[in-house]
Amino acid sequence: MSVLVGQPAPVFEANAVIDNQIVENFSLSSYLGAKYVLFFFYPKDFTFVCPTELHAFQDHLAEFEKRNVAVVGCSTDTEMSHWGWLQVPRAKGGIEGVTYPIVADTNKTISAAYDVLVGSYDLDEYGNLEAEGELIAYRGLFLIDKQGIVQHQLVNNLPLGRSIKEALRMVDALQHFEEYGEVCPMDWEQGREAMQATHESTAAYLANKS
């Protein structure tokens, strides 16, 4: 598993569904210099754990927007599959009401670039292409700053849902550090006391941000 923290987030262009509209050539680069991005992968449309996560992000979307964070989802399903799932009511297992972008990683190159793809392609002894694994995405989550650098990543196995509370906490911690230069200890939450940073690498980071 690649560690992308501290590196530029992989760039891409792909079709997406945004508030029930199919959009071509969507890219995270549209947020550069303007917004933080919470980019998350989920395994499949029309499943069980996935809608609980997509709805949770929607239910807390105002909290992310208040922090100047764009929420973007992604799976290896097509944009038409995303659109179809958006037509299904929440009570029936659908994601009706989700308005943030959902990217269609149909050719699986985005999941591969973020190293969250379950499985891989290979050639058999006769030179025929074969797939190992499901070729869907793990539950990856990447917090990307306004300069396009990954500051936090989390990857869960398929059965394990994530925590919205923890995602918001990481946003708060990053923004607190950027504003005050204070580092955030274990279980730090907004409003609690942080710690003064004295390490040279921290000073260099802040200098590069200014």
Domains plus CATH for the chain? 14-161 (3.40.30.10), 163-210 (no CATH)
pLDDT at 206: 53
Q: Check the CA dihedral 148-2-187-194 and report its sign.
A: negative
d(CA 131, CA 113): 17
Q: Any idea which of 37-41, 97-101, 137-141, 192-196 has the lowest mean pLDDT?
A: 192-196
d(CA 178, CA 84): 40
pLDDT at 8: 97
**Catalytic, out of 50, 104, 117, 167:** 50
105: pLDDT strictly greater than 90: yes
68: pLDDT strictly greater than 60: yes
pLDDT tens-place string over residues 158-196:
999 999 999 999 999 999 888 888 777 777 777 766 667
pLDDT at 125: 79
pLDDT tens-place string over residues 108-134:
999 999 999 998 778 777 888 787 878
pLDDT at 205: 54
Task: Say how many C-beta atoms besides its own lie within 10 A of residue 66's C-beta.
Answer: 10
As a whole number, mean pLDDT of residues 42-55 equals 96
d(CA 157, CA 137): 9
Q: How confident is the model at residue 1 (pLDDT cuts 50, 70, 90)?
A: low
Strand order in the sheet with 102-104: 21-26, 14-18, 102-104, 69-75, 36-41, 139-144, 150-156
71: pLDDT strictly greater than 60: yes
pLDDT at 76: 97
Query: Does residue 74 carry a catalytic annotation?
Result: no
pLDDT at 120: 78
- 63 phi and psi angles, rounded to 5 deg: -65, -40
Helix, strand, coil content of the chain in percent (nearest 5): 30, 25, 45
- Output the six-digit token pair for 2: 């690649």
